[in-house]
Amino acid sequence: MSTTTRNMTLGQRFLANEWSALAVAIVIGLVTLAVLSPAFLTEFNLYVMLRSFCVVLIVAFAQMLTLAVGQMNLSVGALGGLVAITVGGMMEKWGFPVPVAILCGLAIGAAGGLINGLLTVRTGINGFIITLATASAFTGINLGITESIPFYNLPASFVAFGTGRFYALPYLLLPPVLIAIALAFFLARTVPGRQLLAVGGNPQAAELSGIPRDRVIVMAHTLSGLLAGAAAILAVAQLGSAQPTIGVDWLLMSFAAPIIGGAALTGGHISVAATALAVVLIVIIQNGMVLAKVDPYWVQFLLGALILAAVGLNRLRAVRAGGA
Amino acid sequence: MKWSLTHGFTMTHSVSSDTRGRPSFLAEQSNLIGLAAIIILFWILFTSLAPGFVSSFNLFALSRSLAVDVVIGFSTMVVLATGGMNLAIGSIGVCAVMASGYLMQTIGLPIPVAMALALLLGAFLGWLNGFVIVRSGVNSFIITLASASLFLGGMLILSKAQTFNALPPEIAAFGRMRWGFVSPLLFIALGIGAALIVLFRFTALGREILAAGANARAAELSGVPVGRAIIIAHTLSGALAASAGLMLVIRLGAAMPSIGQDWLLPSFLAPVLGGTLLAGGYVSVVGTILGAFLVTTIRSGLLVMQIGNFWLQLFLGLILLAAVMLDRYRSIYAERRSLGRKDAGRRSSGRRA
């Protein structure tokens, strides 16, 4: 392994890297858009792009953590919607201070994830079915409480955070960046983080080496719920209102980014950097579509094509690596 | 060890090292009886709380939505048989819906021809899923997640999300037609169910699909064309999704681009409540019908009681949870009881579906 790495040129080493194709695609996209559209590199457009990056990134991380242990969380969007409206309701109806409401929202997210994890581990039923069911339950609570009516009157300071910016940098970008750094550190350097990847990579081996498998899976689900909650709070700040529909369109995106970033459904193989790059690519494509004034339906179509292309590319690389 | 089969279709256990549990004959029967008992309970409950529940109007409406739910359930069931998933059912359904609308309204094709072409389109899109899954070797979850987005996007681009609401009047007339209290659509759904029973019980193809799902390697080694079986299952799933879509066109009298977006939950609810395994290798057609019946009953009952759509999602989620957990504990209990009698060691190893 080490000798082959040493014999490769810099370019080859770059191409062997998982996210190389993503990086190339992003650069091509940026250059093309910058050349074709004068509006692309304006401060405001960059701000808009960075703003739409925030929520999607955390949603992708929420799914990534469950994928890491070979599970999935179909309830990210539903849980997000529930957290969004409870945070909105706490601030508008009950007059909670913003930090308290945010903490409560995060706690609800984590609790939802904990429920997912405990149900999956205790019953031994496939996480897909469990989270499909809890997703329906969370959505039901959301709609039952709000009857589809959003909370509009949120504290001014909270809304200001959602729209504020420093030149092209939205304040909203701060939490996702901190979360990404914390997550990368968590997965690379801490014992629970390593355990998480170990359980995903080979559950039997992990169990034999004394890692509490069930506890790690519950932890992954809890963290996933926590991140879904964080994404929801950001979405509320971004929109300036707590819409019950927050989260309904997260499912595809949540899987798309980690998978385009090379995550395997079987677990143990995820990358914070690659997932983040995948989100960048998705955001660039969406922005390009808007600038080109293409039918918005093309976004849906292209996202599907992008997932297939990424999966095909990864497959090709795996086959080649196997043959070499 | 061979199990005689009545309602369920299990591959004979030639591969005994496979520890994934498949329900025994008794467990299978008790599952169906349990499900039927729950349905009866809900009927008694709803009838006593809201007399409107058994009005002929409501029974008719219930039969129409039951027909659609049953076929949606079948569409997922045939893919679950191979141990795969099809998340693109709603997207395939709506593609068929819009194609039929276009063919009837814009092109002016006769109804049967348009419907047949729409079914073919559904089968083709399903075939495409299966082909890509088998050729790439990538998990069906990812492929169908991506293709769901691709199909839906393609449909929206082509149709510009316009509803076709000037369909031939015969369509809506057929939708309003009653045979007694029920819609003929229900009989079509049950007819499809009968065909599926024949497929899985009496044909080599059905057995191949189940064998591919039970243990793909073993099936491959014993000469089953696993790839072909998976592709056929997906093709069938696509055709069934298209049929469900066309039933909705008949019910609504229009081809709407919003059809299919809420199919994911019911498509899994019906087969899973009915005892079909996610792991593959086992399906229950009768169970899927009963599962769909339970879902439709609850939905209709809550509507009649005017609890409304808002809390419905919560109830469906909780019921799915309760049902799968109940099933889990019952099978563990049944296993413990049977341990003393037969092959204790083999089946006691922990199972995680």
Supply the pLDDT for residue B278. 81
| CA quadruple A12, A13, A18, A23: dihedral, nearest 10 | -80
Segments of chain A scoring below 70 in pLDDT: 1-8, 10-18, 321-324
Considering the domain boundaries, does residue A12 fall inside one? no
Residue A17 in any domain: the answer is: no
Distance CA B220, CA B228 (A): 11
The pair of structure tokens assigned to A67 is 């994928």
Record the tokens describing residue A321, joined without a space.
Answer: 């690596």
User: Does the structure show a pLDDT above 50 at B227?
Assistant: yes
How far A266 CA lies from chain B's nearest CA (Å)? 9
Q: Tell me, what's the pLDDT at A102?
A: 93
- Examine residue A242 and state whether it is found in any structural domain, yes or no: yes
State the pLDDT at residue B9: 47
Closest to A282 (Cα-Cα) out of A265, A260, A264: A260
Full domain range(s) for residue A311 = 39-323
| Choice among A166-175, B16-25, B167-176 with the minimum mean pLDDT | B16-25
The position carrying tokens 């650069």 is: A27
User: A280 lies in a domain?
Assistant: yes
Residues of B in contact with A66 (CB under 8 A): none
Whose tokens are 């899987």? That residue is: A255
In 3D space, the residue among A230, A208, A207 whose CA is nearest the CA of residue A217 turns out to be A207
Contacts of B160 in chain A (CB under 8 A): 295
pLDDT computed for residue B35 by the predictor: 86
State residue A89's pLDDT score. 92
Whether A187 is covered by a domain: the verdict is yes
Domain count of the fold of chain A = 1
Sequence letter at residue A50: L
Decide if pLDDT at B25 tops 80.
no
Beta carbons of A248 and A242 less than 8 angstroms apart:
no
Q: Is B138 in Cβ contact with A315 (below 8 Å)?
A: yes
Out of B146, B264, B328, closest to residue A123 by CB: B328
Residue A90 domain flag: yes
Measured distance CA(A150)–CA(A83) in Å, rounded: 13
> Which residue in the block uniquely carries the two structure tokens 């759904």?
B189
Of A253-257, B14-18, B220-224, the poorest mean pLDDT is in B14-18
- Looking at per-residue pLDDT, the higher value among A218 and B349 belongs to A218
Let me know if A140 is exposed, middle or buried by CB neighbors in 10 A (0-12, 13-18, 19+): buried
Chain A neighbors of B150, CB-CB under 8 A: 301, 304-305, 308
The structure tokens listed for B80 are 């679950």
Q: Sorting pLDDT into bands at 50, 70 and 90, what band is B2?
A: very low
Is the model's pLDDT at B326 over the cut of 80?
no
Q: Cβ contacts (< 8 Å) between A130 and chain B: which residues?
A: 321, 324
User: Nearest CB to B136: which of A129, A136, A315?
Assistant: A315
**B101 CA to chain A: closest CA distance, Å?**
19
> What is the model's pLDDT at position A315?
78
Q: Does A295 sit within 8 Å of B313, measured CB to CB?
A: no
User: Using the beta-carbon criterion (under 8 Å), do B142 and A255 form an inter-chain contact?
Assistant: yes
pLDDT of residue B335: 65
Higher pLDDT, B127 or A316: B127
The domain that contains A145 carries what CATH number?
Answer: 1.10.3470.10
CB contact under 8 A, A307 and B264: no
Min distance B21 CA to chain A CA atoms (Å): 13
Is the model's pLDDT at B4 over the cut of 70? Answer: no
One DSSP character per residue, B52-120 reads: GGGSHHHHHHHHHHHHHHHHHHHHHHHHHTTT---TTHHHHHHHHHHHHHIIIIII---HHHHHHHHHH
**Residue scoring higher pLDDT (B351 or B102):** B102
pLDDT at B21 over 70: no
Chain A residues within 8 angstroms (CB to CB) of chain B:
72, 119, 123-126, 128-130, 132-141, 143-144, 147-148, 252, 255-256, 259, 265, 295, 297-305, 307-308, 311-312, 315
| Residue showing tokens 């998978």 | A259
Residue A152: what residue type? Y
User: What's the pLDDT score for residue B126?
Assistant: 97
- Name the residue with higher pLDDT: B196 or B10: B196
pLDDT at residue B7 is higher than 50: no
Q: Which of A14-23, A151-160, B114-123, B310-319 has the highest mean pLDDT?
A: B114-123
For helices B226-252 and B111-136, give the axis angle rounded to 10 degrees: 150
What confidence score (pLDDT) does residue B13 get? 38
- For B242-281, how does the pLDDT look when each residue is reduced to its tens digit (9 = 90+)? 999 999 999 999 999 999 988 998 899 899 888 887 888 8
Output the pLDDT for position A13. Answer: 66
Is residue A16 situated within a structural domain?
no
The overall average pLDDT reported for chain B is: 85
Out of A234-243, A310-319, B132-141, B323-332, pick the least confident.
B323-332
pLDDT, position B344: 40
Answer whether B138 sits within 8 Å of A302, measured CB to CB: no
Task: Establish how many alpha carbons lie within 13 A of residue B332's alpha carbon, considering only the half-sphere containing its beta carbon.
Answer: 15
Which tokens in the block code for residue A275?
A: 């997932």
Exposure b/e, A49-80, CB count within 10 A at least 16 = b: bbbbbbbbbbbbbbbbbbbbbbbbbbbbbbbb
Contact A295 B157 (CB under 8 A): yes
What distance in Å separates the CA atoms of residue B158 and residue B147, rounded to the nearest whole number? 16
Q: Which residues is B283 bridged to in the sheet?
A: B9
Domains in chain B: boundaries: 38-335
Q: Do B148 and A304 touch (CB under 8 A)?
A: yes
Q: Tell me what pLDDT residue A266 has.
A: 78
The mean-pLDDT minimum among A242-246, A314-318, B34-38, B292-296 falls in A314-318
Q: What class does CATH assign to B38-335?
A: mainly alpha
Do the domain assignments include residue A27? no
- Closest CB to B153: pick one of A141, A148, A304: A304
Q: What is the pLDDT of residue A125?
A: 83
What is the arithmetic mean of pLDDT over B316-326? 82
B183-205 average pLDDT score: 95
Q: What is the pLDDT of residues A3-44, one digit of tens each?
A: 455 566 766 666 666 677 788 889 998 998 888 888 888 888
